Amino acid sequence: MAARPAVLTWLLASIVLAQTTPTPPTSEAVLARLRTDLEPAINSEIKQGHLPGLVIGVVKSGRLIYAQGFGVRKIGESSPTTSRSLFHMASVTKTFVATAVMQLVESGKIDLEAPLIRYLPYFRLADERYRAITIRQMLSHSSGIPDVDDYHWDKPEFDDGALERYVRSLATKKPIFAPGAKFGYSNPAYETLGDVIAKVSGETFEDYVQHNILTPLGMKDSTLLLREANPQLLTSPHLLQRGRLVVSKVFPYNRAHAPSSTLYSNIDDMSRWAIANLNGGELDGKRMLKRETLDTMWRPVIDAPTSRVGLSWFTKEDRGHRFVLCAGADVGFESLVVLAPDDAFAVIGMINRGDDSATPLNGFVNAAIRIVLGRDPFPK
């Protein structure tokens, strides 16, 4: 199963703060408190056998000030996780899909208000309402395209045609509501957007993202293709079964679901992604998106159960602080990226454990946010 909505809702709901101090601490003070207050708690979780590995990074004022790995890439082996260890990012991938779409909007090749079938004439659902689905509705999880339960991680596809085949297979599905009527998390909507990117650009989805986002931003270790991920950096997926960690028998990869799930990245690379977004779409003189385009992506389109949704990004406000975030959860992995654009910082966390039970990832990311804002990381 990919990008489980229930887990995502829990992750997104849990970014909660107390009243902050008037003057945020310096980067040096933040770094010291991350080491003295946060690291012991993480090490304790790993020592107790609750986590195989965790990485966390903090970006502040345009630079990565903290990047630390804990635990191992695979239980039973000694390879430690580091800031370069690669994790399956799950639904965090969707923010890259949205960025690619918005690049094509900027170049005049896609219209957000246009019907999907303008770009994919072969797209069908088993209900004529599909004809009215727009690109904006798909990006904001308000298209009515139903979610899916089985991602066939145990039967991975690796060929260039996998994505289009999957999109064509949706013809037997019925919309769960009228397009634009409400929020309904949809992984298949993002697979379909990936196919739109491929058809409009003339490249495969993965090649477009590599050429227009990952390479320009200097995300040197990141890839959407599992076979191109450096095996010396890649972490293994784990599950908690009967109270003990085990390596998952399947790795969550299927090229049919690349747009919803299959970015492999690390703290070093994701910090560059965060900085580019916080910096109005530019990094090292290379522009990813216009600043006003990012504003559009972060502007709420529809309400979700615990937050509001823009174009792929979820948004929350708490006591005067605005958070723009995305979370990922697949078999054996969880990830969380939180941007605080008005406060000029970001926190990124990843673990190589993901199952139906709650994990400590969100608590540690939330603790790091509170430290950056000068508060107690673990309030009583």
pTM of the full structure: 0.95
Using H for helix, E for strand and C for coil, what is the string for 30-73? HHHHHHHHHHHHHHHHHHCCCCCEEEEEEEECCEEEEEEEEEEC
> In this model, does residue 7 exceed pLDDT 70?
no
Question: Distance (Å, rounded) from C-alpha 259 to C-alpha 191?
Answer: 5
Domain boundaries, the chain: 5-372
Query: Mean of the pLDDT values across residues 162-191?
Result: 97
pLDDT for the residue 273? 98
Phi-psi bin for 193: left (phi > 0), alpha (psi -120 to 50), beta? Answer: alpha
Q: Residue with structure tokens 């009228």?
A: 178
The CA distances from residue 98 to 248, 332, 380, in Å, are: 30, 25, 38
pLDDT in tens, 286-311: 999 999 999 999 999 999 988 999 99
pLDDT of amino acid 345: 97
* pLDDT category of residue 356 using cuts at 50, 70 and 90: confident
Model confidence pLDDT, tens digit, residues 60-83: 999 999 999 999 999 999 999 999
Q: Average pLDDT of 230-242?
A: 96
Q: What's the pLDDT at 24?
A: 86
* Predicted pLDDT of residue 12: 53
Handedness of CA 181, 187, 192, 197 (dihedral sign): positive
Rounded to an integer, what distance in angstroms lies between the CA atom of residue 299 and that of residue 308? 9
According to the model, what pLDDT value does residue 2 have?
47
Average pLDDT of every residue of the chain:
94
User: Which pLDDT score is estimated for 6?
Assistant: 46
Name the least confident of 3-17, 113-127, 178-192, 238-252.
3-17
- What pLDDT score was predicted for residue 21? 55
The superfamily in CATH containing domain 5-372 is: DD-peptidase/beta-lactamase superfamily (3.40.710.10)
12-33 pLDDT, tens digit per residue, is: 555 555 555 568 899 999 999 9
What pLDDT score does 115 carry? 98
For residue 236, the number of C-alpha atoms closer than 13 Å in the C-beta half-sphere is 19
Gap between the terminal Cα atoms of the chain:
35
Q: How far apart are CA 305 and CA 326, in angstroms?
A: 15
